[in-house]
Amino acid sequence: MADGTGKSGTRHCHACGRWLRPGVRFCPGCGQTVPEDGGAGAGPPTASSLAIREPARTDTELEAGPPVQRRPSRRPRPSSPRPDYGPAGGRRVIIAAGVFATATAIALVFLLGHPFRHAQAAAATASSHNPAPTRAVGSDSPMPSTTPTDTEQQAATGLAALLAQSGSDRQEVNNAFNDVSQCGPGLASDAQTFSAAAASRHQLLQELNQIPGLSTLPTAMISDLTSAWQVSATVDDDYVDWAQDQAADGCSTGTSDPNYEAAEAPNLQATSTKTAFVNLWNPLAQQYDLTTYAQGDI
């Protein structure tokens, strides 16, 4: 008896309509199981079953069994770079930022901190060797800069030369003062002597502030001498007017002249500051074998 129409003893697949050999358990076309008795699977192929056919399988494939149903492979979606914001990623960002900040700080300290410290150390060393010069009181002249070669002895020697000039001026003033007091023969020229002495005091003040290494000398000593010469110049100017009055009225007023009286207060002040100066100068002068003075000598 034939299974279905067609060749005797053959069957066809009820799923795809393929003619099957006797004894085949699986359809070589679609892989469906073929009933042994050909019951439900027997019969001619229908139009719907013939519409779907798969390629025939070889005898080797038939022996291997039904084809494995494979799912269509999915193409991997293109992956975008994952932001590194997770717990581990956040730690990596923080660590990287910390490392960068630390490296930047070290570089700034190395490049900026060291030069400043070296500059400050150099400035401190220079300041210790070269202290800022002290400007004399009441002087308009700038203090000379002190070099490492300037010493107290050099400054004292320079000051000694100025004191010698001041002593010479003082002697001239004393002679003129005695002449005016006695209405002496030099009365006509005494006023000029006082005027020259006053100008010399101002010149000495300028030269005092130009002595190299002046700042190495005691500050109080220089201040006393500056004040003494300034006040002495004022006294000399008053004596100029006194001498002129004596010459004009024939020495009638003498020491009661208003200009003579005006010189009394500054004359006392000059004596005080000169005394303070020589008390500081004479020990220093003896140390360097220089001339010592009394207050009335300068």
Alpha-carbon distances, residue 224 vs 93, 169, 207, 227, 279 (angstroms): 72, 18, 16, 5, 10
Tens of pLDDT, residue by residue over 64-89, are: 455 545 555 455 554 444 444 444 44
How many CB atoms are located within 10 Å of the residue 140 CB? 9
Residue 26 pLDDT level (bands cut at 50, 70, 90): confident
- Residue 136 near residue 209 (C-beta atoms within 8 A): yes
Look at residue 277 in the predicted model and tell me its pLDDT.
Answer: 98
Of 17-21, 134-138, 229-233, where does mean pLDDT reach its minimum?
Answer: 134-138
| Region for 38 from its dihedrals, namely left if φ exceeds 0, alpha if ψ lies in -120 to 50, beta otherwise | left
How many CB atoms are located within 10 Å of the residue 108 CB? 10
Tens of pLDDT, residue by residue over 206-228, are: 999 999 999 999 999 999 999 99
Tens of pLDDT, residue by residue over 37-65, are: 544 344 455 544 444 444 555 544 444 45
Where is mean pLDDT largest: 12-21, 32-41, 128-137?
12-21
- What are 265's two structure tokens? 């207060």
- Please check the confidence at residue 235 and state whether its pLDDT lies above 90: yes
**φ/ψ of residue 20, rounded to 5:** -115, 145
Answer positive or negative: Cα dihedral of 211, 215, 217, 218. positive
**What does the buried/exposed string (b/e) look like for 146-155 if buried means 16 or more CB atoms within 10 Å of the residue's CB?**
beeebeeeeb
- Where are the extended beta strands (E) located within the chain? 11-12, 19-20
pTM score > 0.85 for this model? no
Cα dihedral 245→248→252→258 (10° resolution):
-20
Question: What residues contact 71, with CB distance under 8 A and at least 6 apart?
Answer: none
Look at residue 24 in the predicted model and tell me its pLDDT.
Answer: 75
How many CB atoms are located within 10 Å of the residue 166 CB? 23
- Residue 49 near residue 32 (C-beta atoms within 8 A): no
How many CB atoms are located within 10 Å of the residue 188 CB? 10
- What are 188's two structure tokens? 């006509």
Tens of pLDDT, residue by residue over 243-277, are: 999 999 999 888 999 999 999 999 999 999 999 99
